[in-house]
Chains A and B, each alone.
Chain A
Amino acid sequence: MKSADYNQMELMITLASRFLEDKSTVVVGTGAPCAAAMLSQRTVAPDLIIMFEAGGLGPQLPTMPISVGDSRTFYKGIMSTSMAEIMELCQAGMVDFTFLGGAQIDKYGNLNSTIIGDDYYKPKVRLPGSGGANELASLCWNTMVITPHVKQRFVEKVDFLTTPGYLNGPGTREDVGLPEGTGPYKVITDLCVMGYDDKTGRMKVESIHPGVTKEKIEENTGFKLLWSDNLEESPIPSKEELDLLREKVDPYRYIIGRE
């Protein structure tokens, strides 16, 4: 922890919450993404519509869900529906943001959550698989990732391409038939915030967290990063954001207790 005032998880959630827009739609999973959406609703995006892939639409989340299909995900919501309906809204272009994770991510934002190892039929480690990640990243307009920044995760090439980022650079998503104008948007880690370069589709550092150096980011990344010309220091959480996060969003510290 770099400061007595907040921990790295609180910083990541706060930064992520600011990228969501008011009167927009977001599909989230459990954990940090859900916390970010809940915080966003209480700050920058009061009319954010939160959705869960199992069918929960527009809940007023009273407390953190444990599963993306549990009762909390449609508590006092707009609608309890089906997975097909949520995913069809994504496919139809009605969903602005999604948050994903994965065991590995490469410079184009491609994600792996299926296997570790180079032989698919004899995996070193079997992971859960896509779940809804592949289609959310394929169909939502903007995909964001919140993840710890370690070298084993930020790899030159993912062992298995579960979920599409910019595949092999600009235009390749469209070439395979994915909807135009969709793709990776931001990666928020415990070291920095990254976006993607328009020309190359590669990950580009936009802001560095207080106390973190360029060298430290490079040491923890398994590929060559691009750096923004207007590199900034990441803005830290405000007292108001921290209070909301601790008292309203995650009072039992399920997520922010993990650093």
Chain B
Amino acid sequence: MSYEELIGLQEGKGKLFKKPDAEGSRKFFKNKSREMKSKVTSVKEAVNKYIEDGIYLAVGGFGTNRIPTAIYHEIVRQRKKNLALSGHTATHDGQILMAGGAVDRCDAAYVVGLEARGLSKSARDAFEKYGVEVCEWTNATLTWRYKAAAMGLSFLPSRALLGTDTFKYSGAKVMHCPFTGQKYAALPALPVDVACIHVHKADIYGNCQIEGIDVGDIDIVKASKYVIVTTEELVPHSQMRNETDKVSIPYFLVDAVAEVPYGCYPGNMPYRYFSDEEHLNEWLQQEQEGKIDEFLQKYIYSTSDFSEYLQLCGGIEKLKDLRRKEVLIEDLEELGE
């Protein structure tokens, strides 16, 4: 396609895996329970109950940072299939799901890569060999698609995406502002079936506190029919009541809460523990060497839950090291600061 043709494009030809449906979403939320009741459960039960084959899944955090790893392991362990994944910087999370063969459609903003660490062969094979269906987006346009749904709208305008192949293979359309005539890319709202997020603190009802950047989690939660939360720690409800400015997700948006300490491992949990680069590298290596099936067998299929995985990866001693790394103890000592 020539640049002239690209410039003339009015409509992307990518497939919309979820169509905007502000009215439908309102009707769903009309009937969603507002009851303040305990939602504490296990990851196993939550995945069993809310992750049905074929649903559209959104991922909290950012690739390897504050991701709900335990939920993704459990999805693979329960051999869930044909999920659609929102690839809003889906790096290790996307890698787990694709290695486990759980995904068949993907809105791709950033997938297959783990940033500076390299590329995931499992994820790459999913697209190159196994024909995972893909629609192109970008980090901002996906996050604004969540935001549109979170706002109860069917679209938002954007000044990004225009004039590129990324637009051509997206599901966006060109629109003109009714006030100024300005051209925009109209981004369809992205109503999600299930959002999975990992937070620092939650109470039994599902009120959540996130420390550090929230990435897109708050909009993802509001855009989703069902929300599964894993939390580093469960805290008393009274603590939430005393820290209302720190609560960014109110309980009535949340459906399940599981306490999973170190639940983002081998990713980075701000202020708690840094990423385990050795183990992430092991994932990448095993994929390269064609040993991913044995690797999944060892770490996921043969373990009954996430605690066993943590044990296999070095247990408390490893986690202590990662805590020291997160608070820069070695680094700052060495740098003399």
Let me know if A164 and B140 touch, CB within 8 A: no
B262-286 interface bits toward A, Cβ cutoff 8 Å, 1 = contact, 0 = none: 0000001011001101000000000
Give CA–CA (A164, B211) in the complex, Å. Answer: 34
Asked if A251 lies at the interface with its beta carbon under 8 angstroms from chain B, I say: yes
- Chain B nearest CB, measured from A158 CB (Å): 8
What mask results when residues 67 to 86 of chain A are scored 1 for a CB within 8 Å of chain B, else 0?
11111011100001111100
Min C-beta distance of A244 to chain B, whole Å: 13
Does B312 make an interface contact (CB < 8 A)? no
A91/B158 contact (C-beta < 8 A), A66-B117, A127-B113, A177-B183 known: yes
Tally of chain A residues near chain B (CB < 8 A): 60
**Given A120-B169, A138-B161, A69 contacting B275 (CB threshold 8 A):** no
CB distance from A161 to the nearest CB of B (A): 4
Q: Give the CA-CA distance A66 to B112 in the complex, in Å.
A: 16
Query: In the complex, A120→B136 CA distance in Å?
Result: 11
**Is A193 an interface residue when CB atoms closer than 8 A count as contact?**
no
Residue contact A130 to B7, C-beta cutoff 8 Å: no
A-B pairs under 8 A by CB, number: 218
Q: Is B225 an interface residue (CB 8 A)?
A: no
Identify A135's interface contact among B7, B140, B216, B335, CB under 8 A: B140
A54 touches B128 (CB 8 A): no
Residue A226 at the chain B interface, CB threshold 8 Å = no
Contact with A along B230-247 (1 / 0, CB 8 A): 000000000000000000
Q: Which residue of A lies closest to B213 (CB)?
A: A55
- Please report the C-alpha to C-alpha distance between residue A199 and residue B140 in the assembled complex, in whole angstroms: 31
List residues of chain A with CB within 8 A of the CB of B174: 177
Indicate the member of A71, A84, A167 with the most B CB atoms within 10 Å.
Answer: A71
The answer on a CB contact under 8 Å between A131 and B109 is: yes
- Contact assessment for B214 and A164 in the assembled complex, using a CB-CB cutoff below 8 Å: no
In the assembled complex, which residues on chain B have CB atoms less than 8 Å from the CB atom of A87?
139-140, 143-144, 160
B21 contacts chain A at the CB level, 8 A cutoff: no
**Would you call A170 an interface residue if the criterion is a C-beta within 8 Å of the partner chain's C-beta atoms?**
no
Complex partner residue of A129 from B6, B109, B116, B274, CB under 8 angstroms: B109
Which one of B56-64, B189-197, B303-311 contacts A?
B56-64
Minimum Cβ distance to chain A for residue B109 (Å) = 6
A152 to B: closest C-beta gap in Å = 17
Residues of B within 8 A of A135 (CB): 138-141, 158, 160-161
Contact, CB under 8 Å: B159 / A54? no
Q: Which residues of A are in contact with B by a Cβ distance under 8 Å? A: 29-31, 53-56, 62-63, 66-71, 73-75, 80-84, 87, 90-91, 110, 114, 120, 123-135, 138-139, 160-164, 167-168, 172-173, 175-179, 248, 251
